Structure 1
Amino acid sequence: MTIPLRFGYKASAEQFGPTELLKYAVLAEQAGFDSVFVSDHFQPWNHEGGHAPAAMPWLGALGARTERILMGTSVLTPSFRYHPAVVAQAFGTLGAMFPGRVILGVGSGEALNEVALGIPWPEVKERFARLKEAITIIETLWSEDRVTYEGQFFRTENATIYDKPETPVPIYIGASGPAATRLAGRMASGFITTSGKARELYTDTLLPALAEGIEKGHRSPDDVDTLMEMKVSFDHDRERALQDTRYWAPLALTPEEKMAVEDPIEMQRLADALPIERTAARWIVSTDPDEHVDRIESYLDLGFRHLVFHGPGADQERFIRLYGEEILPRLRARHG
């Protein structure tokens, strides 16, 4: 079965408190978005004015306030702050309450979220191994009873998830490198990555790795949703669209600049030093809706089927309204 084309809204948990964020996500459903994805940070990118609501209870509130949208995490780390069994329990509950509407998006984590809790931050190889083990535990708990598991990093003993959906919640894997992308192709229901990077990263590295994983898993491309978190700043005022990206300057830092940063105060210091041209470089900054859609379509041309739009500005109601009135209708008119 062909994966449908979907357009989602990124709920910026790093920028807004939980009540305000919930209001925007409900508006997104009303404006015609198909999904809402929220990140799960323990600490935000910015110390001053930052937020970090817990994703799992927030998704429960969102499900109760909405009727049709898909909702999930982009992304949650199930292998440091949380024991994978706790994640299985929480998302099993969400899946039972809102059947067919919940997605668990997972990743290997960042130091900013874990080190503050006294967790030693390991190298990439261990983070990746922890993620694989965590996914195995979660899926086993959703499909079996009385699970005893002894892994390298986690254990369970006669563990049972008593409240779970009739069908497991889809697991999507967030990745920016080939190893995790291959894992998504081999075993996940979806692959999550972000826009605004060199086109060659997608064409020469990530998408070939995804195809390799799908082949190794003896699966079809239609078994794996391809979700691109789109960094977009659309407004009729170009200066406003440009300056809206300032809050999200940390995204313009290279992986080498930010991966080992443990303190949001230091993260904010590094980001504040960037010029606006570099801050905006990760974003599609546009004032013309047709030009904006043309630039978005370059990601559809790559094969991504689920675009989740992240607007950087403080006025999210304005972003949601403009997208609902001018961008989503154009995308759907072109692509059905």
Structure 2
Amino acid sequence: MTRFGYTLMTEQSGPLELVRYAQSAEAVGFDFEVSSDHYSPWLVSQGHAPYAWTVLGAVAQATSRVELMTYVTCPTMRYHPAVVAQKAATLQILSEGRFLLGLGSGENLNEHVVGEGWPSVDTRQTMLTEAIEIIRELHTGELVTYDGEYFRVDSARIWDVPDAGVEIGVAVSGSESIESFAPLSDHMIAVEPDAELVSGWDAARGGTSRKIGQIPISWDPDRDAAIARAHDQFRWFGGGWPVNAELSTPAGFQAASQFVRPEDVAESIACGPDLDAIAESVRPYIDAGFTDIAIVQIGDEQQDRFLAEAAEPLLEKLRGL
């Protein structure tokens, strides 16, 4: 059975609000909750970027049932993989086994801030491979020394390691990334409902692993308001990840999306009060074979109402698919 999650969108909400939304999302029946891990919002109009790991630590204490996940953390630029391994182990203990570490090769928007430049995609993929190897070794609780092409670890040990370890999901986009990361990770993450990714992953890992996707929606009783909100805060989404990974600032996304029209956004994101239409927009992920799908409700100002009025009946319709 497909599991449905709620997205803690750090780019559009402050830390206190995110913890409150996490509690409400658990109460209405979402199966899991994913958090973005950003240093900047995509667009200035979103207006937020709290530290995801602090938020998730608070959410781990404020909830009791839902699985938690980073969607996704880049363990190669802002964070050294040895630090990510420690953070993930601690969060797994705080959540009492409910955490899944979602990893990816990152976006320039978030990683350039440390002043180390932005490597080519091939380099980023190699760096991610090394990072996962380091995280895996450190999660054994043993003393680790690692000397790779991009990372070194010198006599490091994580002293508080969860008994069951931490499962890892990795973002992939094609056959080459599946070939690289399927042997190193437990689960697949992807941002498009591509059945070939699912079949390729299953061939590499087996059908028992999870395939985790995410889709934005803009629920609102007023469809025009829903479209306007989606256009204001989510028009960057249409650029696609090859573009989105490379731009370095919200101003860059503002410029790149300046000619995107509200009607363009409405064609790619389900907007308005029609829960049947919103549920149908999720169907391509189900048909492609995704086991877990996280919903992004666009706009901080509409989260409370969405969770109070629309989330529960939407979940019923989604599970009915």
Structure 1 residue matching 2:306: 3-state secondary structure: helix
Q: Where do 1:25-64 residues align within 5 Å?
A: 25-64=22-61
Distance 1:282 1:174 in 2: 21
Structure 1 residue matching 2:40: 3-state secondary structure: coil
1:72 matched residue in structure 2: 69
Give the gaps of 5 or more residues in structure 1: 215-219
Q: Where do 1:136-175 residues align within 5 Å?
A: 136-175=133-172
Structure 1 residue matching 2:182: 3-state secondary structure: helix
Distance 2:127 2:242 in 1: 21
TM-score scaled to structure 2, two decimals? 0.92
Superposed displacement of residue 321, structure 1: 2.5
Superposed displacement of residue 188, structure 1: 1.7
- Asked if structure 1 preserves the Cα contact closer than 8 Å seen for 2:102 and 2:171, the reply is yes
When the two chains are superposed, the root-mean-square deviation of aligned CA atoms in Å is 1.9
Distance 1:277 1:181 in 2: 35
1:279 matched residue in structure 2: 265
Superposed displacement of residue 283, structure 1: 1.5
User: Greater CA deviation, 96-105 or 124-133?
Assistant: 96-105
Superposed displacement of residue 286, structure 1: 5.0
Deviation digits for residues 192-246 of structure 1 (CA, Å, limit 9, x no counterpart): 1224xxx6xx134x234323432xxxxx211x11111022223333222222212
1:320 aligned residue (302, 307, 321) = 307
Superposed displacement of residue 48, structure 1: 4.6
Q: Where do 1:110-121 residues align within 5 Å?
A: 110-121=107-118
Q: Where do 1:285-304 residues align within 5 Å?
A: 285-304=271-290
Distance 1:136 1:322 in 2: 44
Superposed displacement of residue 162, structure 1: 0.2
Distance 1:256 1:191 in 2: 18
- Asked if structure 2 preserves the Cα contact closer than 8 Å seen for 1:184 and 1:190, the reply is no
Distance 1:142 1:152 in 2: 21
- Aligned-pair identity (%): 34
Q: Where do 1:1-336 residues align within 5 Å?
A: 4-195=1-192, 202-204=194-196, 206-214=197-205, 220-222=206-208, 224-246=209-231, 247-313=233-299, 314-332=301-319, 334=320
User: Greater CA deviation, 169-178 or 305-314?
Assistant: 169-178
- Asked if structure 2 preserves the Cα contact closer than 8 Å seen for 1:284 and 1:295, the reply is yes
Structure 1 residue matching 2:213: 3-state secondary structure: strand
Distance 2:316 2:284 in 1: 17
TM-score scaled to structure 1, two decimals? 0.88
Distance 2:113 2:318 in 1: 42
Distance 1:300 1:49 in 2: 29
Letter in 2 for 1:302: A
Letter in 1 for 2:73: L
Distance 2:64 2:185 in 1: 26
Superposed displacement of residue 134, structure 1: 0.3
Structure 2 residue matching 1:143: 3-state secondary structure: coil
Deviation digits for residues 89-142 of structure 1 (CA, Å, limit 9, x no counterpart): 111111122222011101001111121221121111100001011011001101
* Count of residue pairs brought into register by the alignment: 319
Distance 1:328 1:146 in 2: 45
User: Greater CA deviation, 313-322 or 289-298?
Assistant: 289-298
- Asked if structure 1 preserves the Cα contact closer than 8 Å seen for 2:101 and 2:167, the reply is yes
Give the gaps of 5 or more residues in structure 2: none
Superposed displacement of residue 178, structure 1: 3.0
Distance 2:277 2:302 in 1: 22
Could you say if the C-alpha distance between residues 256 and 193 of structure 1 is closer, same or farther in structure 2, counting changes exceeding 3 Å?
A: closer
Deviation digits for residues 3-40 of structure 1 (CA, Å, limit 9, x no counterpart): x5311101110111111122111111111111111111
Could you say if the C-alpha distance between residues 133 and 256 of structure 1 is closer, same or farther in structure 2, counting changes exceeding 3 Å?
A: closer
Distance 1:316 1:183 in 2: 37
Could you say if the C-alpha distance between residues 330 and 48 of structure 1 is closer, same or farther in structure 2, counting changes exceeding 3 Å?
A: closer
Distance 1:86 1:294 in 2: 40
